[in-house]
Amino acid sequence: MNSDNRKMKEIVATAYHPTLAAAAQQGNLFNLHSACPSTARHSQVKQILNNPLSSASLLTFIDQADYNSVPTDIKDQIEDIKRTNAIHNERVRRELEGLMEKTAMRLKEKEVELHQKVAENAELERVMMHYRTEVERLQMTVRYLEQFVNVQARPGLQEGKATSQCSETGKEDEQIFMAVRLDCRNCKREMATVMLWPCRHVCLCRRCDDDLRVMFCPVCCLLKNGSLEVFLPPSEY
């Protein structure tokens, strides 16, 4: 009865395992008419062991009762397969852990580089703002110096002009009064009609007074804090 059950199990197992079925077709592994059950069983196990692709099927195919009846050399081969699988699994696990560790380290390095780039960009923006402010300050200084030079050179030019006029006209009646035209000290085109505070110099036209860039008096270079438009008598020239 036990022999018949074992034969039935072998037939069913061969039907569900393609490797065993191929081995049975090639070598008549399950020749139930000419071989005894134990010999056929051992031959089947040897065929599986000779095929590395079917070693995993062997471990699941042999139950505990059959395993006890397997010869010692077959058992040793099965244990070797188990140890080989365990070693392979351990090697794969270590390789995966090493790969994950290297990947995490690389990501950490990239994160540090990113923080460094962000800090460098912030520093560059700060330096750029500093130089932009410095350029604006230098431009204001240049405008102030230009106005100062114009103020210093204006009296000399006026004296030269007056001397030239006196030499051309000669000595005339000192009692004759001439109308005076006050030119804008900034644009030098319009007539000056605005008095600046607190210096009280009438030296700017209305347009230059409204110009926010003109912050200092062209005559004394004093910072203006107010202005007042005045009406002068019309000029005759």
Q: What CATH number is associated with residue 195?
A: 3.30.40.10
Q: In what side-by-side order are the strands of the sheet with 194-197?
A: 202-204, 194-197, 226-229
The confidence score (pLDDT) of residue 73 equals 83
Residues facing residue 223 across a β-bridge: 216
Enter the pTM of the model. Answer: 0.30
The confidence score (pLDDT) of residue 216 equals 87
| Residue 197 located in a structural domain | yes
**Final residue of a structural domain among 19, 44, 70:** 70
**Final residue of a structural domain among 40, 70, 100:** 70
| Location of structure tokens 């008598």 | 233
The confidence score (pLDDT) of residue 165 equals 56
The confidence score (pLDDT) of residue 62 equals 53
| Residue 195 located in a structural domain | yes
Angle at 61 between CA 59 and CA 64, to 5 degrees: 80
Residue 183's SS3 state is strand
| Residue 29 located in a structural domain | yes
Q: Could you list the pLDDT tens digit for every one of the 237 residues in the chain?
A: 445 445 444 544 444 444 444 444 444 434 434 444 455 555 655 555 555 444 444 555 555 556 667 688 888 888 899 999 999 999 999 999 999 999 999 999 999 999 999 999 999 999 999 888 888 888 888 887 777 777 665 665 555 555 555 555 554 544 444 455 678 988 988 888 888 888 888 888 988 888 888 888 888 888 888 888 877 655 544
- CA dist 29 and 20 (Å) reads 8
**Final residue of a structural domain among 54, 70, 86:** 70
- CA dist 6 and 41 (Å) reads 9
Report the run of H or E that residue 155 belongs to, with start and end: helix 72-169
The confidence score (pLDDT) of residue 97 equals 93
The confidence score (pLDDT) of residue 111 equals 93
Residues near 187 by beta carbon (within 8 Å), at least 6 away in sequence: 205, 207, 208
| Residue 52 located in a structural domain | yes
Residues facing residue 194 across a β-bridge: 204, 229
Q: Total structural domains in the chain? A: 2
- CA dist 4 and 192 (Å) reads 131
The confidence score (pLDDT) of residue 64 equals 54
| Residue 139 located in a structural domain | no
What residue numbers bound the domain in which 21 lies? Answer: 2-70
